[in-house]
Amino acid sequence: KNNTNDTFECVFTASTPYTENTLSIPQNTITDGAGNGNNASNIFTWKWNKARPTMTISSLDISSGDYSNLTSIQLLFTPSEVISNFIVSDTSHNGQIIKFEASGNNYIGTLRPYSNNTKTSKTINIEVPENKFNDTYGYSNTISSNVFVWNYDGIKPEITITSDTIT
């Protein structure tokens, strides 16, 4: 499209995500009214990031929603692509993460209830809210992760033996 100031606009559609795409105008492709050809243009380079990163939380010990009396569980944080700047404080939870480390492109954390009191029960939820980490292109996660639920049951059953015939 030719604007009045001799600026041309075009639409450049990349066909392959996550690869480098370039656009340039070779020398003598466009001529002015006097027949002068253009100089070669600069090379415009960009990468198309098809999707924003996401995170899935699972456990190596239980399934989400399970009840257990384990004093801690291992969590696995699995991003949809290579990410950077993901740290333990990016998580939102009502438990305590006592260990957190990268393992390849994944992250592993040890989660426990705030109290190790064996006479408590607690539902612990953990998630990664939106805008907490970036992919290698600088784009942040725009949706929250799944909410992983651990139903911690530290209450030991109490048994009382009675008899209707003997007191």
| Rounded CA separation 137/118 (Å) | 46
Give the global pTM. Answer: 0.70
Q: What is the mean pLDDT of residues 8-33?
A: 82
Q: What is the mean pLDDT of residues 154-164?
A: 86
What is the per-residue pLDDT across 86-137, written as a single tens digit (0 to 9) for each? 999 999 999 999 899 999 999 999 999 876 555 678 899 999 999 999 998 8
**Residue 148 burial by Cβ neighbours in a 10 Å radius (0-12, 13-18, 19+):** buried
